[in-house]
Amino acid sequence: MLGRALVDLIAPRRCAGCFRIGDGWCALCHADLARLRLRDAGWSPLGDGVLAIGAYAYAGPVAAAVKRAKTPGGHALAPDLAAVLWPAVGIQPSELPRTWVPSAPARAKARGAELPQVLAGPGAVRLLERHPAARKQTGLAPDARRAAPRGTFRVVTAPPPVVVLIDDVRTTGATALAAAATLRAAGARRVLVVTLCVAGGRSRADDPTAPRTAR
């Protein structure tokens, strides 16, 4: 207890969204998360045998938390993000075979952890690896983003017939589809892509009658 108290004094726990001192998500950010929930979990077919769902629109406190979690040393926020993913999509992760979209090795090392792996939770199995020379997508135009992931992934373990593939953010869907197609080519019949955030996704906040959170 004394050790925990000293850690809290030196580096206190902070809200994942606004970074105010506190444990987990503060009440204001938690209310914002409710408004950012995607309508109908953002169900979307990505390709043959590949269906995608998502939890939140990529905005507000969840976007801020994802960006912070993907900076060096920010991976401590990853469990807070995992805690709000699965209830939002209505899935019990322990019931399904899970894997994640891997980062390039150098980027994962710099960040200290792979956010999608933490989101996937205990029991998830590494099925894919990303080629170290894969093109970085940050800052690319949408057309370039769609082309960049082709040939990026390779299978390291044979996938089961049905698998859940977890990622943090879906923008054009190209990366998720490339990873899912790699799993399908290796024997998976169906892939469910689950992402924490979807860029441009329609959320409850798009409803003009939805209540706003005062800050």
Percent of the chain scoring above 90 in pLDDT: 54
Structure tokens at 124: 């998830």
Residue 71 in this model has a pLDDT that exceeds 90? no
Whole-number pLDDT of residue 1: 45
> Coil, strand or helix: which one is 186?
coil
Q: Does residue 7 sit within a domain? A: no
Residue 84 binned pLDDT confidence (cut-offs 50, 70, 90): very high
Residue 2 lies inside a defined structural domain of this protein: no
How many residues are present in the chain?
215
Element (H, E) at 167: strand 162-170
Residue 121: inside a domain, yes or no? Answer: yes
> Does the pLDDT at position 144 exceed 70?
no
Task: Print the domain residue range for 77.
Answer: 13-206
Does pLDDT of 146 surpass 60?
no
The pLDDT of residue 133 is 58
pLDDT at residue 10, as a whole number: 46
Q: Is the predicted pLDDT of residue 152 greater than 70, yes or no?
A: yes
Let me know if residue 156 belongs to a domain. Answer: yes
The better pLDDT of the pair 171, 11 is held by 171
Structure tokens at 87: 């209830």
| Average of per-residue pLDDT across 77-86 | 93
Q: Is the pLDDT of residue 109 over 90?
A: no
pLDDT, tens digit (0-9, with 9 covering 90-100), for 164-210: 999 999 998 999 999 999 999 999 999 999 999 999 877 766 654 44
Give the model's pLDDT for residue 162. 96
Q: What pLDDT, on the 0 to 100 scale, is given for residue 103? A: 85
Our count of domains for the chain comes to 1
Classify residue 165: in a domain, yes or no: yes
Residue 6 domain flag = no
Tell me: the pLDDT tens digits for 13-56?
788 999 888 777 999 999 999 999 998 888 899 999 999 999 99
Angle at alpha carbon of residue 118, lines to 114 and 122, rounded to 5°: 135
In a domain, 4, yes or no: no
With respect to residue 117, please indicate whether it lies within any of the assigned structural domains. yes
Q: Which range among 17-21, 142-146, 159-163, 196-200 shows the weakest confidence by mean pLDDT?
A: 142-146
Spell out a b/e string for 80-117, using b for 16 or more CB atoms within 10 Å of the CB, else e. Answer: bbbebbbebbebebeeebbbbbbbbeeebeebebbbbb
pTM to 2 decimals? Answer: 0.81
77 has pLDDT over 80 = yes
